[in-house]
């Protein structure tokens, strides 16, 4: 005759599984916004790199011709890349002053980066950086 004081339970009770799932859900709710913020910041660095590459090429053009070029491909500054490799940012046409002595470039977020609170990133020949949000550069 089995002893009722020493009965063994096998497996998990439903309430235990529900508690574990609740804890995992709470952890996910806390971690997901932090992950999205970190991912946006990482993708934003690619947009910054695109702008810096174009402005560096513009500076080389300026050193040779004493004016900035408004062309972003082939015969202009020699930068044929209008978007960064992953496609999170697209370079808008360059804005060159009438006298050719200043230039500004903007990179528009697209795809997964479109919801980034920093929005459009900008950089000009004087080194001024612009963005919709704070702490974006």
* Mean pLDDT split into 10-residue runs, the chain, 137 residues: 62 86 93 90 91 90 89 58 75 87 92 91 93 88
Name the fold adopted by 13-130.
3.30.1300
Two tokens at 8? 């063994």
- pTM (predicted TM-score): 0.72
pLDDT of residue 14: 85
CA 134 – CA 58 distance, rounded (Å): 27
CA 101 – CA 5 distance, rounded (Å): 91
pLDDT of residue 92: 85
pLDDT of residue 74: 46
Alpha-carbon torsion (94, 85, 120, 125), positive or negative: negative
Two tokens at 63? 């050193």
For residue 29, give the 3-state DSSP assignment.
helix
CA 43 – CA 109 distance, rounded (Å): 9
């Amino acid at each position: 005759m089995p002893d009722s004081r020493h009965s063994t339970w096998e497996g998990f009770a439903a309430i235990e599984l529900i508690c574990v799932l609740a804890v995992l859900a709470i952890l996910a709710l806390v971690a997901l916004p932090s992950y999205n913020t970190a991912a946006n910041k990482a993708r934003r660095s690619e947009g910054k790199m695109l702008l810096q590459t174009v402005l560096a090429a513009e500076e080389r053009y300026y050193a040779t011709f004493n004016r900035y070029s408004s062309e972003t491909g082939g015969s202009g500054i020699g930068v044929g890349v209008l978007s960064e490799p992953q496609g999170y940012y697209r370079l808008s046409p360059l804005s060159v002053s009438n006298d050719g002595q200043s230039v500004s470039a903007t990179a528009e977020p697209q795809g997964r980066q479109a919801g980034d609170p920093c929005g459009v990133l900008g950089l000009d020949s004087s080194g001024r950086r612009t963005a919709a949000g704070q702490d974006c550069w």
